[in-house]
Amino acid sequence: MAESPGATSCPGTFAKAWAKAVSGTSYLPMTQAQLETLLHRLTGQLAGALTAEPFDVRAGYRVGAELVAAHIASAEGLGRTVEVIQLRLIRDLGLVAEDVEDRMARLLAAVATGYARALRDRTLDEQESIRRAAMMARTQAERALRASEARFRHQATHDPLTGLPNRTLFTERLTAALNEPGRGAQRVGVCFIDLDRFKVVNDTLGHQVGDRLLTTVAERLCQTVGEHLVARLGGDEFVILVERSGGTEDMVAMAEAALAAVRTPALVDGHELQVSASIGIVERQVAGANPSDLMRAADSTLHWAKSAGGARWALYDAERNRRELARYALSAAIPAALERGEFYLDYQPLTSLRDGRLVGVEALVRWRHPELGVLRPDSFIGLAEETGLIVQLGGWVLAEACREAEAWSAGGTAAPFVSVNLAVRQVHRPGLVQEVRGLLRQTGLPPERLQLEITESTMMSTAKEPVRALRVLADLGVRIAIDDFGTGYSNLAYLRDLPVTELKVAGEFVAGLRSPSVGRTDERILASLVSLAHALDLTVTAEGVETAGQAERLRAIGCDAAQGWHFGRPAPADRILARIR
């Protein structure tokens, strides 16, 4: 076998096509460039096998095994591999021979066989590793427990300040309660207690007063819970162990009693002190429970009570815990998702109510998650804002929107501006002006074709630097819009001194215009907003327009533009370009 006369061998082209086909079929611990390098090497092995004399399928086995070793280990990944090899390998490498089809079929079978064998072997190896690790962990745990008992046995097991059992004794009691023979069907409960804002007592009155307050709290808890174990874990953290729980109702009643005992005023060194506490409650069957999981659940539940304002108890909810773990996993995946190119933009049209012309589009980010499918912004933007990743993600959105929007002017017609939402953290970044300038220079997008959408709360910030930065951008020609106007401060007076060119009226007002017989109040409010905005030389865009009736009523009151499903749903950049042309 040989290359066809005049054909051009393109292993690099084929490797890129192969990499594109398997990307996203499973999580790969490598960059796209590394993936292409790997597949380029495997392409050479496949080509060598097809041209070898005599023909030998062993290279196919090796290629299949290497794919599994590189974590391209899903049914979809194998299917796409077989498809791209079958359709493109011979063509891209320009290979010809009388028996090329027969060789290709046998080589593909060898790849699939090698893939299946390697996947089977890897699974068996992982199972054996897990079994050995479990045995080792169990052995180590038993050794550690014996060593711990020997190391800490004539040492103290009580807190020197309060006299309560300390963490060591509490853990021993909890472990014993869970491991006691014949108790699998019985139940156990834990109340994890933390004093609210106790640090204020130490900071204002001194640690001596704080220590005496802790002693008082310890005495009250012991009096309240009777026979049950009360321990001090450290600082202002206490825990109550109920080795034989009667159910969640009993645990809640105990938590209520503990809260009442803590909040009773205490006289300490002439100071009348009153503190509150937060409690996390975990109650479950002994069978299947272990100390670390129980305390981890109690700690999470305590934080739920704290985040709700404190001075209360919270009961462990497995579903809520699952959702929070899922949220954490999703937020942690954002940086890698950006690197893998899983985010993309859709654009929603902003249409003139005067002549129906497309005046702009709003960029809306989407996440093509390999496991969860396409995620809308409300699934991950909040997480990105909480973790600070919104700066990285928002920067990508801004850059991608500028890059795609610049291409829309190639048709020779008046291209729309692109509107991009800026998060509070982005607006407060010192380098915002330099970032926008750099993007405009790199992409060639005219400043007047970029609009930055800011929330009202961001514009009302007392910090002067963000406003100064937006004013510099406005002087460059960049459009500045207030997003969701009407849901925040709704104060037109402060707009006089800010570099704003457009108001985007919140969809809540527009929703009332769906029927001619209703929404008169909303219509009057909108008419007033439009009139006042025009007096300040601002344009007004209505959000959430879904019907022709809404559009007509907005047009009648003088609204400049609108967006919503009536004018078009969010769509990829190529559809926007097609609409422009």
Q: At what angle do helices 464-476 and 432-443 cross, to 10 degrees?
A: 20
Q: Tell me phi and psi for residue 333, to 5 degrees.
A: -85, -10
Instruction: Give the bridge partners for 453, in sequence order.
Output: 421, 481
List pLDDT tens digits, range 472-487: 999 999 999 998 887 6
On the question of pLDDT at 160 being above 50, the answer is yes
Q: Which of 69-83, 174-188, 425-439 has the lowest mean pLDDT?
A: 69-83
On the question of pLDDT at 4 being above 50, the answer is no
List pLDDT tens digits, range 106-137: 888 888 888 888 888 888 888 888 888 888 88
On the question of pLDDT at 342 being above 80, the answer is yes
Measured CA to CA in angstroms, residue 32 lies from 75, 307, 340 at distances of 20, 41, 7
Q: If one looks up domain 167-316 in CATH, what number appears?
A: 3.30.70.270
Q: How confident is the model at residue 461 (pLDDT cuts 50, 70, 90)?
A: low
Yes or no: say if 535 and 554 are a contact pair by the CB < 8 Å rule.
no
Mean pLDDT on 337-348: 95
Residue 515 confidence (pLDDT) = 66
Backbone CA torsion sign across 381, 387, 388, 393: negative
Percentage of the chain lying above the pLDDT 90 cut: 49
Q: Spelled out in words, what is the top-level CATH class assigned to the domain 347-362+389-578?
A: alpha beta
Yes or no: say if 397 and 380 are a contact pair by the CB < 8 Å rule.
no
Residue 493 confidence (pLDDT) = 63
Burial class (CB in 10 A: 0-12, 13-18, 19+), 327: middle
Yes or no: say if 191 and 240 are a contact pair by the CB < 8 Å rule.
yes
Mean pLDDT on 397-416: 85
* One-letter amino acid for residue 509 of the chain: F
Residue 149 confidence (pLDDT) = 67
On the question of pLDDT at 19 being above 90, the answer is no
Mean pLDDT on 8-15: 74
Mean pLDDT on 141-162: 76
List pLDDT tens digits, range 311-323: 999 999 888 888 8
Q: At what angle do helices 318-332 and 291-307 cross, to 10 degrees?
A: 80
Containing H/E element for 552?
Answer: helix 548-556
Residue 409 confidence (pLDDT) = 80
Measured torsion, CA atoms of residues 391, 392, 393, 395, in degrees rounded to the nearest 10: 80
Q: How confident is the model at residue 412 (pLDDT cuts 50, 70, 90)?
A: low
Domain ranges of the chain: 11-128, 167-316, 347-362+389-578
List pLDDT tens digits, range 224-244: 998 999 999 999 999 999 999
3-state secondary structure 147-216: HHHHHHCCCCCECCCCCCECHHHHHHHHHHHHHCCCCCCCEEEEEEEEECCHHHHHHHHCHHHHHHHHHH
Mean pLDDT on 487-500: 69
Q: Spelled out in words, what is the top-level CATH class assigned to the domain 11-128?
A: mainly alpha
Residue 530 confidence (pLDDT) = 92
Q: Which of 26-40, 413-427, 541-555 has the lowest mean pLDDT?
A: 26-40
Mean pLDDT on 254-276: 92
Cα separation, 532 vs 255, whole angstroms: 56
Average pLDDT of every residue of the chain: 87
From 275, 253, 277, 249, select the one nearest 193 (Cα to Cα): 277
Q: How confident is the model at residue 466 (pLDDT cuts 50, 70, 90)?
A: confident
On the question of pLDDT at 1 being above 80, the answer is no
Which pairs with CB-CB distance under 8 Å and at least 24 residues apart come from 318-321? 321/297
Mean pLDDT on 210-217: 94
Q: Which two tokens stand for residue 554?
A: 């907005």
Q: How confident is the model at residue 271 (pLDDT cuts 50, 70, 90)?
A: confident
Residue 318 confidence (pLDDT) = 87
